[in-house]
Amino acid sequence: MKISENTEFKIDIKTVIGIIMFTTTIVGMYYTLQEDIAEAKTLPPVEVSRLEYELKEEWNEKMIMQLKDQVEMLEQTQDILKEEVSITASMIKDGTEADGKLEELNRQLEELQNKKPSTRVIVKEVKVDKKGRKI
Q: Is residue 5 included in any domain, yes or no? A: no
pLDDT of 5 reads 80
Whether the model clears a pTM of 0.75, i.e. scores above it, the answer is: no
Please check whether residue 99 lies inside any domain of the structure.
yes
Residues of the domain holding 58: 50-114
The answer to whether residue 13 is domain-embedded is no
Residue 1: what pLDDT?
A: 61
Q: Which residues contact 58 (CB under 8 A, 6 or more apart)?
A: 122
Taken in order 103, 105, 111, 114, is the CA torsion positive or negative? Answer: negative
In a domain, 70, yes or no: yes
In tens digits, the chain (135 residues) has pLDDT values of: 677 888 887 889 999 999 999 999 999 999 999 999 999 899 887 776 787 888 888 889 999 998 998 888 888 888 888 888 777 777 766 666 665 676 777 777 777 777 765 555 455 555 666 655 666
Residue 120 and residue 128 in contact, taking contact as beta carbons nearer than 8 Å: no
Q: How many domains in the chain?
A: 1
In a domain, 9, yes or no: no
- CA distance to 56, 131, 135, per residue, from 128 (Å): 19, 8, 5
Position 135 scores a pLDDT of 61
Asked if residue 95 belongs to a domain, the reply is yes
pLDDT of residue 25: 96
